[in-house]
Amino acid sequence: AAAAAPSLKNAALLRPGVLQATRIFHTGQPNLAPVPPLPEHGGKVRFGLLPEEFFQFLYPKTGVTGPYVLGTGLILRLLSKEIYAITPETFSVISTIGFLVYIVKKHGASVGEFADKLNEQKIAQLEEVKQASIKQIQDAIDMEKSQQALVQKRHYLFDVQRNNIAMALEVTYREQLHRVYREVKNRLDYHISVQNYDASEGTRAHDKLGGEACGAEHLCTAGEGNSRQVHCRSKAARKEGSSSASYVNTSIPIKTARNS
């Protein structure tokens, strides 16, 4: 056991194990525990001296008055034969014992209750500590349970967040789509109006000029090409959702065809 003791034992100048080598740890079963319980009440007595069993012992033979007659006889014999002599001390006996009996009869019960109350206070104090500790642990358990429940419900939060993000993305996408639509419509409207202008006045200007230099040709080409382009563009614009990529694609072949 000494070898198995912890190293703190060896820290002091004079190790405590040296002086009390046999009392380091509680090895083995201590014979003081479990302590047998104390009886709750003592044996019953009469006159504070004579046990009740004595009266029960004499009862079958002498009845109830038997022990009392025996006692009286004994006392009278002691007095008459001066085995017990009346001396000054007798009176002090009477006064002392009388005083003690009076005190015990008057205050005995209350003193006993006081002693019981002291013990009860001791136990109540410890019980309170125990209850406080239990309550603390119970509160910790409840908090832990509520935390776990909250964790279970966390996916709602994530769903909401996901939905929010999807909605924001959708809104952004639609916004951009709308913008694109507006821009494309803007440009196509411009070209339609140009075309309308060309249709109404452009040819008159062309005839007037008589097909002059490259400017007119350019204009003509541009106008025709443009009108063709506008036409294509308006066609393209009717297709919603087609981006400027289709706009570029359809215009280029016509231009090249025209040029070639």
Partner 1 sequence: MNENLFTSFITPMILGLPLVTLIVLFPSLLFPTSNRLVSNRFVTLQQWMLQLVSKQMMSIHNSKGQTWTLMLMSLILFIGSTNLLGLLPHSFTPTTQLSMNLGMAIPLWAGAVITGFRNKTKASLAHFLPQGTPTPLIPMLVIIETISLFIQPMALAVRLTANITAGHLLIHLIGGATLALMSISTTTALITFTILILLTILEFAVAMIQAYVFTLLVSLYLHDNT
Binding site residues, partner 1, CB under 8 A: 32, 35, 38, 85-99, 111-112, 114-116, 118-119, 122-123, 126
Q: Residue 28 CB, nearest distance to partner 1 (Å)?
A: 18
Residue 45 or 177: the one with the smaller Cβ distance to partner 1 is 45
Residue 19 or 38: the one with the smaller Cβ distance to partner 1 is 38
Residue 73 or 98: the one with the smaller Cβ distance to partner 1 is 98
Q: Residue 108 CB, nearest distance to partner 1 (Å)?
A: 10
- How far is Cα 161 from Cα 192, in angstroms, rounded to an integer? 46
Residue 125 or 133: the one with the smaller Cβ distance to partner 1 is 125
Q: Residue 6 CB, nearest distance to partner 1 (Å)?
A: 27
CB-based contacts of 247, cutoff 8 Å, min separation 6: 184, 233, 236
- How far is Cα 97 from Cα 70, in angstroms, rounded to an integer? 22
Residue 118 or 214: the one with the smaller Cβ distance to partner 1 is 118
Q: Residue 137 CB, nearest distance to partner 1 (Å)?
A: 24
Q: Residue 129 CB, nearest distance to partner 1 (Å)?
A: 13
Question: Residue 237's CB: how many other CB atoms inside 10 A?
Answer: 21
